[in-house]
Amino acid sequence: MLVRKTGIRALLSLAAAAAVTGGTVTAAEAGTRTDLQRSLDGIVSAGAVGVQAEAIGKHRTWRGTSGTARLKGGRPVPRQGLFRIGSTTKTFTATVVMQLVAENKVGLDDPVERYLPALVPNGENITVRQLLNHTSGIREYLEDSEEFPLEGQDFLDRMRFTDYAPRTLAQIGVSLPPLFPPGTGSRYSNTNYVLAGLIIEKVTGRSYAEEVRRRIIRPLGLDDTSLPGTRTSIPGPHAHGYIQVTEDGTTRPVDITRLNASWAWAAGEMISTTGDLNRFFAALLGGRLLPPAQLKAMKTTVPFTLPDGSADGLGLLKLPLPCGVSVWGKDGGLHGYMTQSMHSEDGRHITISVTLRENSGSAYMKIGEAIQKTVADTFCGRR
């Protein structure tokens, strides 16, 4: 789901790859390929419908899949299939904001009130930086379960194909009592990134979607990455995701692939591929999208960390691993889909997409347990 849950935060290590693409395969590479394919198979055994992954090492790119494209069907998962990236959208949104900071059009420590007057209560004391690193204290608009029934038949009936206006999402979030005074705590909130999208539109006079396309997608040639708006389909080869719906005492999986994700907007609407996400993060962390000062700010984490040591920067997540390596990236989840894209300082990049058969926290945790070994193998094992 788009809302950050404990179970989803445990999935920070989604990673893997499988078949080598050309060239001579050494014994070490063959072993790595076998290990990673076994990891993908393990994610499916843990309950995923399918999984696809791309890992870029120092000398070689690996791609692999496991499972099937549909719950009941033998067709394999497309190797470069499209999928909903959920909250990984936030890194794109944050990057555009930081480009505007570099252009002196937005001040990172300016109050939100300067750009969105009279929208955010106490907006004169909440900064743009605090939106991007989730220290604003602003509540999650999706907490309003009456307006946003995220599960079961209610979701299908009331949200699945409904159009939502971004400003309405923001108004619902800021109308809820704040969690804490700005800057005194940290709590993941999609409202922060809806407000960031509105700031982009206010400052540029163009839609947030057009700014992402103009500044990131087109320059990097991310041809398979899109911002669907109210479009419900995935525009290309893709695997199907599911949720569980209980009706009259019977639970059944429902194909949730077609979905109007306008309720996620700048916080989680985008569609992409493993290859495009790897190219995006390589460009971002390699300094091709931001000047050094803005990239440094983006990688400056808040002091509020979780038990696993992970911490939020500005649209980026830092995850320390047992071997002493820290990786950067972003996780994401939307109905039926789960995404993880992680990247190390030495230029290794890993993105994986998982399609789900249900949307429960226990299902997320089982898949999370299956992928924990993969991240250690990928970044701490054979190189």
Catalytic residue ranges: 87
Q: Using an 8 Å Cβ cutoff, are 2 and 87 in contact?
A: yes
Listed residue (105, 276, 93, 298) closest to 192, CA to CA: 93
Q: Is 55 helix (H, G, I), strand (E, B) or coil?
A: strand
Residue with tokens 């002493």: 324
- CA distances 183 to 91, 126, 187, 289, 351, Å, are 21, 8, 11, 27, 32
Q: Where does residue 154 rank: exposed (0-12), middle (13-18), buried (19+ CB within 10 A)?
A: middle
Sequence letter at residue 312: D
Helices (H) and strands (E) in the chain — how many of each? Answer: 13, 12
Residue with tokens 């400056």: 300
Please name the residue ranges forming H helices in 103-227.
Answer: 128-132, 152-158, 166-175, 190-204, 208-212, 218-220
Q: Centre a 10 Å sphere on the Cβ of residue 19 and count the other Cβ atoms it contains.
A: 13
